[in-house]
């Protein structure tokens, strides 16, 4: 499941192949993603050069001078760059072909992803306009989280997963960050001190940067690969480790449901 580090890694991986290149053809085999892919996407995109490959939250933005292609990878999506012709396989829903024979191929088993065309300033689009700060930016700090959490009774884990508060903290990294910060994921967001939020902001950045570094290594050979990119290479300390001993104190990691999400933590180390 692409979390922010995977999306950033994919952005870096595809950028050198498509930046500055002109779209020659768009093949949509399965328009039914989270929302239907616009029927006129090919008309909009063909003949346009992609002059920038950006990321905002987990959205990829391919900018042209007449509009922006927005791509979200949902739970199971990934993008590959093909330099050699290659028959599409199962769940290869879209090909975007560029001058020079480069093909950007979207594969998404569960189709929770999206591919939309945005006119005008993409940052004003409803999907992007209300988003909180990027977790790797200066804006995310303890003071910011503390201020936003005032009076809120919501548990801290769903609080930091709320994209209006901060973007890009998915279920896995939320559990990992709270473990590193020693914070009980069920604790009300408004009942956490400024000092602990300083620590939380710091470890969120740390965890994401480590994952980006790991992804950069595994995805070095980005194009023309057959299988999926190597996600999940990061050492996870609590996620998916229920019943196993905590790496700090040895007590069993527990798994609970919090806001319909599996949540993993150590009752001893996280208060």
Under the rule (CB under 7 A), what is the footprint of DNA? Answer: 1, 3, 32, 34, 57-59, 72, 74-76, 90-91, 109-112, 126-127, 151-155, 158, 163, 170-172, 259-262
Nearer to DNA, 127 or 209 (CB): 127
Q: What is the DSSP string of 81-130?
A: EESS-----TTEEEEEEETTTEEEEEEESS---EEEEE-S-GGGSHHHHT
The tokens describing 220, both together, are 């070095």
Nearer to DNA, 189 or 201 (CB): 189
Q: Where are any strands of DSSP class E within the chain?
A: 23-28, 52-56, 59-64, 67-72, 77-82, 92-98, 102-108, 114-118, 254-258, 261-265
Closest distance to DNA from the beta carbon of 96 (Å):
20
Euclidean distance between CA atoms 75 and 78, whole angstroms: 9
Nearer to DNA, 171 or 270 (CB): 171
Instruction: Find, among 86, 87, 88, 121, the residue nearest to 107 by Cα.
Output: 88
Of 56, 58, 157, 180, which is the active-site residue? 58
Nearer to DNA, 72 or 80 (CB): 72
Nearer to DNA, 93 or 98 (CB): 93
Closest distance to DNA from the beta carbon of 219 (Å):
19
Closest distance to DNA from the beta carbon of 179 (Å):
15
139 counts as catalytic: no
Of 11, 187, 261, 267, which is the active-site residue? 261
Closest distance to DNA from the beta carbon of 236 (Å):
11
2 counts as catalytic: yes
Closest distance to DNA from the beta carbon of 102 (Å):
26
Return the axis-axis angle of helices 194-218 and 142-149, rounded to nearest 10°. Answer: 120
For the chain, give the number of residues.
Answer: 271
Place of tokens 């200066």: 138
Q: Which helix (H) or strand (E) holds 218?
A: helix 194-218
97 counts as catalytic: no
Q: Which residues are catalytic?
A: 2-3, 58, 261
């Amino acid at each position: 499941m692409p979390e922010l580090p995977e999306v950033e890694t994919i952005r870096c991986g595809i950028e050198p192949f498509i930046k500055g290149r002109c779209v020659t053809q768009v093949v949509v085999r399965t328009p039914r993603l989270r929302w239907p892919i616009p029927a006129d996407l090919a008309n909009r995109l063909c003949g346009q050069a992609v002059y920038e490959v950006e990321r905002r939250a987990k959205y990829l933005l391919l900018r042209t001078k007449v509009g922006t292609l927005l791509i979200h990878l949902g739970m199971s999506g990934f993008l590959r760059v093909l330099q050699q012709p290659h028959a599409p396989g199962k769940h290869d829903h879209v090909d975007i072909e560029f001058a020079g024979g480069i093909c950007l191929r979207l594969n998404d088993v569960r189709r929770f992803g999206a591919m939309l065309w945005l006119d005008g300033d993409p940052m004003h689009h409803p999907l992007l306009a209300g988003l909180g700060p990027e977790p790797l930016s200066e804006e995310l700090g303890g003071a910011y989280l503390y201020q936003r959490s005032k009076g809120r009774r919501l548990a801290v884990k769903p609080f930091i997963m709320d994209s209006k508060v901060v973007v890009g903290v998915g279920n896995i990294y939320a559990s990992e960050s709270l473990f590193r910060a020693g914070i009980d994921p069920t604790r009300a967001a408004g009942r956490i001190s400024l000092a602990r939020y300083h620590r939380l902001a710091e470890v969120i950045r740390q965890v994401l940067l480590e994952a980006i570094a790991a992804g950069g290594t595994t995805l070095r050979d980005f194009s023309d690969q057959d299988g999926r990119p190597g996600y999940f290479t990061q050492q996870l300390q609590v996620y998916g480790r229920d019943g196993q001993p905590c790496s700090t104190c040895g007590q069993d990691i527990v798994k609970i449901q919090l806001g319909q999400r599996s949540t993993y933590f150590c009752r001893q180390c996280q208060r």
